[in-house]
Structure 1
Amino acid sequence: MSTPQVPFPMPDVLVRNWKWLVGIGAALVVMGIFAILAPFLASVAINAWIGVAFLFAGIAQVAQSFGKGGWRESVGHLLIGAVYILGALLVIFDPLAGLMAFSLVIVVMLAVSGVVRLYEGFRMRPAKGWGWMAAAGAAALVAAIAIYAAFPGSAMWLLGLIAGIAFVSDGSALLALGLAARKLDRA
């Protein structure tokens, strides 16, 4: 039996490890479905994880400030570390404020990317595909406006919903890749 021909050969390491791809993909899909079904719990968990990450980053910056270098370098690292630690404490001890802050950051990112994509789409006109770029920009802008209009209530579910959608899409991609690798492994 001959090996199936594919336009882009799959790396051998993926073919050998297809079970891992399928397992991780399935786990991500399950976690994503949970996050979509319980977006508030997922948002709180993500918020806490970010807070802990900020805390460790702040501690590392403060520790680095006592390393080699002059006082000017030390003060900069110390101030950056203090900002990270203060942000971490806010997120950890007042999770609702953290959720609101992160949600506003997402709204701003969506709005800015929407405006830029709209501009780029219309600037590309009449080239093929310009409408897709403009439509993507309009969709991002509408999403930003809708989330902001529902604020502060949207802050309670936004991070969890976004994470859930990302987990489901990434997990689905890994599942598809793993199943394709499985076919090649069996061939």
Structure 2
Amino acid sequence: MTNRILWLIMALIALAGGFFALLNPIAASLAATTIAAWMFLLFGVLELIAGFRVSGMGAKIWTILMGVLMIYLGITILGHPLRGMVTLTIMVGILFLAGGITKVILSFSMEDRSYFWAILLSGVVSIILAFMIFSNFPMSALNVLGILLGVELLSNGVWALAMAFSRDGVEVDA
């Protein structure tokens, strides 16, 4: 199987998943929340194991504490997925707001003004997205994660499609 075919398969899967997520954002939000919970649980277990192997008492205590906290977070989200969805949506909104403010400040502090408008626009879009999340909260919690997942999958699908049709997606003859 050539690289081009693999890129095409990946593109089709990502595009189909993206369309499904956008057509049913509530189910996609629940799926994203469940996946996040399992990741917290998995990383918590790994961090707990690493905590017992790390040297130094301070590092050991901190690593074990973080592992236990991540395990607790994963179990709590799995036990209450709707509450976890709300919490993750709040975190996404805060990240959008903080990232947007940072990009706006960065755009005005740049010496090279050639990308000023792109960075400023990106920051303003992030702030607007945060405002949209918080202005319709908690109803936005049902849809936001699913829509973001759908957009990310579509973006990855387009990227994989571009790779399939580019020269980089094809094997080079020896």
Contact 1:43–1:158, Cα closer than 8 Å, also in 2: yes
Structure 1 vs Structure 2 CA RMSD: 2.5
Q: Structure 1 residues 79, 33: CA separation in 2 closer, same or farther (over 3 Å shift)? A: same
Counterpart selection for 1:92 from 67, 75, 78: 78
Give the whole-Å Cα distance in 1 for the aligned partners of 2:64 and 2:128. 40
Contact 1:18–1:181, Cα closer than 8 Å, also in 2: no
Give the whole-Å Cα distance in 2 for the aligned partners of 1:154 and 1:131. 29
Counterpart selection for 2:156 from 151, 166, 170: 170
Counterpart selection for 1:149 from 114, 124, 135: 135
| Pairwise CA distance, 1:65 | 3.7
Give the whole-Å Cα distance in 2 for the aligned partners of 1:92 and 1:178. 37
In the alignment of these two chains, the number of paired residues is 171
User: Structure 1 unaligned runs (5+)?
Assistant: 1-15
* Stretches of 4+ aligned residues off by more than 6 angstroms: 182-185
Give the whole-Å Cα distance in 1 for the aligned partners of 2:63 and 2:112. 50
Aligned to 1:53: 39
Aligned to 1:13: none
**TM-score, structure 2 as length reference:** 0.86
Aligned positions of 1:51-130 closer than 5 A: 51-67=37-53, 69=55, 72-124=58-110, 127-130=113-116
User: Structure 2 unaligned runs (5+)?
Assistant: none
Report the identity percentage: 22
For residue 166 of structure 2, give the secondary structure of its aligned residue in structure 1: helix
Q: Structure 1 residues 84, 184: CA separation in 2 closer, same or farther (over 3 Å shift)? A: closer
Aligned to 2:25: 39
| Pairwise CA distance, 1:68 | 6.4
Larger radius of gyration: 1
Letter in 2 for 1:18: R
Give the whole-Å Cα distance in 2 for the aligned partners of 1:59 and 1:182. 38
Give the whole-Å Cα distance in 1 for the aligned partners of 2:168 and 2:107. 40
**TM-score, structure 1 as length reference:** 0.81
